[in-house]
Structure 1
């Protein structure tokens, strides 16, 4: 695949390498925009934190979309879970679905966790994936039974809080980022950020505990090559 000369970077003063690096720093590590500004200054690059914020807002979703297109086909066993997040002091719920390999399928922030909310999230996942899973794993929240009955009643549904660690573990990077950001300012901005974060951050988090050191280094090198391609630092792939 060859990206066009008039790419997404057209009209931007800074090179794509700097833009992509700042977006990577923000989504992979618990750094603020001001901290990234300082890191860039140490390298002799004068860029304001507001510019970095604009880059993350503009390019984060696009990078995430390109990574999604390159992702392997998701597994047929889906784990779904929800956790609360505070947005300006108001409790909201972050719904997340991952496959048996830990790959994030979709996320959605909603104000409730009742049957309607669960059904809405199930519909969103099915629209995104275009197919139904073989097995659905959730905890014992009654809302999941309602959504399962209405949306995918033919799918095997396993409800057990001890079987859903795969999805619960996937919440941890989000919790760390939420703490570093001192909470989210609005449901809309949280949804936009987490949609990108949930695709970019896991890309650089291979399962180290299940790999040898050599395999881990090889996998990271592969993932960085993919990153260079989706950010147009490598024009051909």
Structure 2
């Protein structure tokens, strides 16, 4: 699906290059405003924020639909993100080779949130054969809910193997580091929507960095821009 830039007062490439730069390098909006001004592009920090909130989720949606197929052994975990001074939870999963499976920001860390994450990840990637996680009771309950649904649908043979061994989950915990490296200098977010949109962009650039999208020979910013269609 092609993303519409109707009504935008700047060229598509300028907008998407600015969004890419923000979500890939974690600079502040005011710093990005200054960087762009040095390159002859005059745009204020509030407009930059609107671009990220508007376009980053659409780019992430395109990336999820176009990324290479993940394998059936997943590592799942959540990490913390500060929004308006309060902690929120970024649910994430990678496959056994480190490719991003899916991600979801939630205001809560509980069974309902874990179930919603697994539903989303399965809708986008199909059923895994196995999921490795830590000893979290809510994550276990969330995946058990998925297995109950499979049993009720007469699909017991597709029930997902659950493996709660912390040291096997090192791959996803290490994968969190790239996300935290970018969000750390941002010093928290002012709204859930802004956080969600920014994380969509950060996760997309991380998938590009890992070579999960077509056109891997292209520069990262060009792969990002090409996702807009």
TM-score by length of 2: 0.82
1:107 corresponding residue in structure 2:
103
Which segment drifts farther, 83-92 or 138-147?
83-92
2:182 corresponding residue in structure 1:
177
Match of 1:221 among 200, 218, 221: 218
1:215 corresponding residue in structure 2:
none
- How far apart in 2 are the matches of 1:77 and 1:63? 26
- How far apart in 1 are the matches of 2:10 and 2:191? 29
- How far apart in 1 are the matches of 2:107 and 2:9? 40
1:70 corresponding residue in structure 2:
66
Q: 1:39 to 1:99 in 2, by over 3 A?
A: same
Gaps of at least 5 residues in structure 2 are 149-158
1:124 corresponding residue in structure 2:
120
What's the RMSD between the two structures over aligned residues? 2.6
TM-aligned CA deviation for residue 81 of structure 1? 0.2
2:164 corresponding residue in structure 1:
159
1:210 corresponding residue in structure 2:
none
Provide the secondary structure at the position in 1 that maps to 2:163: strand
1:9-158 alignment runs, 5 A limit = 9-129=5-125, 131-152=126-147, 154-158=159-163
Q: Deviations over 1:108-133 (max 9, x none)?
A: 2334433333223222322333x210
- How far apart in 2 are the matches of 1:30 and 1:90? 20
Provide the secondary structure at the position in 1 that maps to 2:166: coil
1:212 corresponding residue in structure 2:
none
1:213 corresponding residue in structure 2:
none
2:227 corresponding residue in structure 1:
230
Tell me the matched-pair count. Answer: 217
TM-aligned CA deviation for residue 59 of structure 1? 1.6
* Counterpart check, 1:168 vs 2:173: yes
TM-score by length of 1: 0.79
Provide the secondary structure at the position in 2 that maps to 1:221: coil
CA contact (8 A) 2:56 2:200 kept: no
- How far apart in 2 are the matches of 1:170 and 1:226? 21
1:197 corresponding residue in structure 2:
202
Provide the secondary structure at the position in 1 that maps to 2:168: coil
2:155 corresponding residue in structure 1:
none
- How far apart in 2 are the matches of 1:189 and 1:30? 14
Provide the secondary structure at the position in 2 that maps to 1:171: helix
CA contact (8 A) 1:67 1:200 kept: no
Provide the secondary structure at the position in 2 that maps to 1:164: helix
